Structure formats: structure tokens, C-alpha cells
Amino acid sequence: MTSNEYKIIQNFLSQSCGIVLNESKQYLVKNRLTGLLQKFDLESFSGLAAAINTNSPMTMKIKAAVVDAMTTNETFWFRDDMQFLELKKTIFPEIFEKKTGTIKIWSAACSSGQEPYTISMCYEDAAKVAGKSQNVQIIGTDISETILKEAKEAVYSELALSRGLEVQTKNRFFQKTHVGYKLIPDITRRVRFQQFNLLKPFSVLGRFDIIFCRNVLIYFSDEVKKDILTRMAKSLEPGGYIFLSSTESMPAGIKEFEPIRSGRVRYFKKVS
Ligand SMILES: C[S@@+](CC[C@H](N)C(=O)[O-])C[C@H]1O[C@@H](n2cnc3c(N)ncnc32)[C@H](O)[C@@H]1O
């Protein structure tokens, strides 16, 4: 891969999905994209770079495959588990008190579905404790159609289930099938998925009471990060909440949120 070809790939990823790659990532990019040369019958990276710079139905497929190959889909059940405890014990009971209509939650960059399904499991418990049955809509979005296909199927391997899920929860919410463990409809029915690029306007998604935007902003420039968070504030209902991962912080200069601390958990409330 020449430095010019690398530059074309760098520019494409930054403009199409916000992912910023510095010079040290050339080796990683080469590794992740080599398989696409054979898949799309391209002789070299110069063919791939040319496809990226062209618009046709075939090159659209190639570009989507480049994005798929370069995004990191790492996720697991109850990731940052204290956040989910807070959701269950504090946030859902608070919303049950003050809202009668549908509770709307967005898992932005949901990967293979563990995050929105974990939210649905938390709702199940919170509703049981409160003796409530409120309408809840959870939307999981991701840029990758491939990973969303897995999320929609809601079938997971033993290995995927071993990451973050307690045995009791596994027994309660999954049914063993010949292809893996299938989540039960009680959990899947309130979750829907949609392909969505976080660089695009959010208005098509509606407004939310809670947004989870975890482990995705780390791939973006500071400018893109701030833009996304400022726009997410507009998509939140007054007093709505946003969760970043426990290792991410709210960039300086964002005035739309105030931090909430509850024990070791930190999240953000929209300043109304
Ligand atoms: C590391 S996963 C995070 C999954 C989950 N939020 C969690 O914390 O476990 C990051 C996800 O962000 C998605 N992604 C990357 N760029 C994106 C963009 N511009 N718009 C939407 N999703 C994007 C990737 O496809 C990937 O599935």
C-alpha cells in the first residue's frame, strides 16, 4: 500500500464515518483490508483506492465493506455493569414516576445488540419491581449492516454469552437452539434496529429519554465528538440522560449536560 493509497483510505473513512486513523495505523489498515482485494477481485490497493474514489453500485458495496472491515465491533453483556444497575435501580423508577407515555431509549452504535438487549433486560427487572408495565421502545443503530444482521437475529454463541452474562440471566432470557442461544421475545420485542451513521442528522430518529453512546466516540476527532454530543442533547427530552462508557469523558466546552455521580457511576443529564 503506497502512502497515497493510504491517504485515500484515511480520507474516505474520516469523511464517511468519522473514523480518524493516524500514520501509525497503516499496517493495521493493510491487514484488515487485504481480504477485500480477493473478495472484490481487485489486483492491488491501487484498485481499492480507485474504487473508493468512484461512485457506482459495485463501488458502494466495496466502500461498505471497507467501513465494515475498519470498524471495531467489540461489545459484551452488561458492559460497565454499574451503569446498568443505576438504570435499573434509579433511572427507570424515576421515569416511571414522571412519564406515562412511551419511554424511548437509543443505543447509538449498538454493534451486535448486547447493549440494547441489556437495556431491555434491565427494564424487565425494573418494571417487575415497580409493578409497572409501561411501553418502552429501544432503538439500536449502527453504521454496519453486517453487524446489525447479527443483532436482529439475536442468536449468540456460548462464548458470546460467557462475556458479561450471569448463568441465571442466561437461563432466564435465552433458549438453546441448534444454532446457538436465542433471546426470548420478552426481551427482543421492545428492541428494533436501524442502520444509521452518527455523522448524519438525528432528526429522523425522534426524541429520547435516554441515550447510550458508548465506546464509539473514541474513534472520532474532538470536533466530530463535540458535534455528535451537542446534537444528541437536542435529541433528548428535557431532563433526559446520556451514558458514555466509564473510560470516556464529556469534552470540555459542552454546556448542554450536567454530570451526575452515583457511587462509582457517572453519567450526564440534559440541562433543561
Ligand atoms: C466498539 S463498538 C461499541 C458497542 C457498544 N456501544 C458497547 O459499548 O459495547 C463501536 C461500534 O460503533 C460503530 N460505528 C463506528 N462508526 C460509526 C458511525 N459513524 N456511525 C454509527 N456507528 C458507528 C461500529 O460499527 C461498532 O459496531
- Cα 1 to Cα 5: distance, rounded to the nearest angstrom: 6
Q: Is 209 in the pocket of ligand 1 (CB under 6 A)?
A: no
User: DSSP letters along 39-69, please?
Assistant: HTT-SSHHHHHHHHT--SHHHHHHHHHHHHH
User: What is the mean predicted confidence (pLDDT) over 231-242?
Assistant: 97
149 in a structural domain: yes
115 CB within 6 A, ligand 1: yes
Number of independent structural domains in the chain: 2
My answer on whether 253 and 127 are in the same domain is: yes
Asked if residue 39 and residue 161 are part of one domain, the reply reads no
pLDDT tens digits, 143-180:
999 999 999 999 999 999 999 999 999 999 999 999 99
Is 76 a member of any domain? no
- pTM of this structure: 0.96
Q: Tell which atom from ligand 1 comes closest to the C-alpha of 245.
A: 8
Could you tell me if the CB of 21 is within 6 A of ligand 1? Answer: no
**Residue 236 reports pLDDT greater than 80:** yes
17 CA closest ligand 1 atom index: 19
Contact 71, 143 (CB under 8 A): yes
Minimum CA distance residue for ligand 1 atom 13: 109
* pLDDT value of residue 189: 97
Q: Indicate the average pLDDT of the chain.
A: 96
Distance 131 CA to ligand 1 centre (A): 34
Query: Do 136 and 103 form a contact (C-beta atoms < 8 A)?
Result: yes
Q: Are 251 and 222 in contact (CB under 8 A)?
A: yes
Residues 248 and 104: their CA atoms lie apart, in Å, by 23
User: Could you give the CA distance from residue 203 to residue 32 in angstroms, rounded to a whole number?
Assistant: 33
Ligand 1 contacts CB of residue 109 (under 6 A): yes
Distance 253 CA to ligand 1 centre (A): 24
194 and 237 together in one domain: yes
Model confidence band, residue 272 (pLDDT cutoffs 50, 70, 90): confident
In a domain, 198, yes or no: yes
In the structure, what pLDDT confidence band is assigned to residue 63 with cuts at 50, 70 and 90? very high
Q: How confident is the model at residue 26 (pLDDT cuts 50, 70, 90)?
A: very high
Substitution site in 74, 117, 142, 242 for ligand 1 pocket (most atoms within 8 Å of beta carbon): 142
Give dist(CA 9, CA 66) in Å, integer.
Answer: 9
Using most ligand atoms within 8 A of CB, pick from 80, 139, 216, 225 the residue to mutate for ligand 1: 216
> Residue 23 maps to which CATH number?
1.10.155
228 close to ligand 1 (CB < 6 Angstrom): no
Instruction: Tell me if 17 CB under 6 Å of ligand 1.
Output: yes
State the distance between the two ends of the chain, measured CA to CA, in whole angstroms: 50
Index of the ligand 1 atom closest to the CA of residue 107 = 6
Nearest CA to ligand 1 atom 27: 111
Is residue 63 within 6 Å of ligand 1 at its C-beta?
A: no
56 and 152, same domain (yes or no): no
**Coil, helix or strand at residue 242:** strand
Domain of residue 212 covers 81-270
pLDDT, one tens digit per residue, over 120-136 is: 999 999 999 999 889 99
Domain's final residue, options 51, 70, 89: 70
Tell whether 75 is covered by a domain: no
E strand or H helix at 70? helix 57-70
Residue 55 shares a structural domain with residue 169: no
pLDDT score, position 47? 95
CA-proximal residue: ligand 1, atom 23 (nearest): 143
What is the CATH classification number for the domain harbouring 218? 3.40.50.150
> Is the CB of residue 198 below 6 angstroms from any atom belonging to ligand 1?
yes
Instruction: From 31, 47, 70, give the residue that closes a domain.
Output: 70
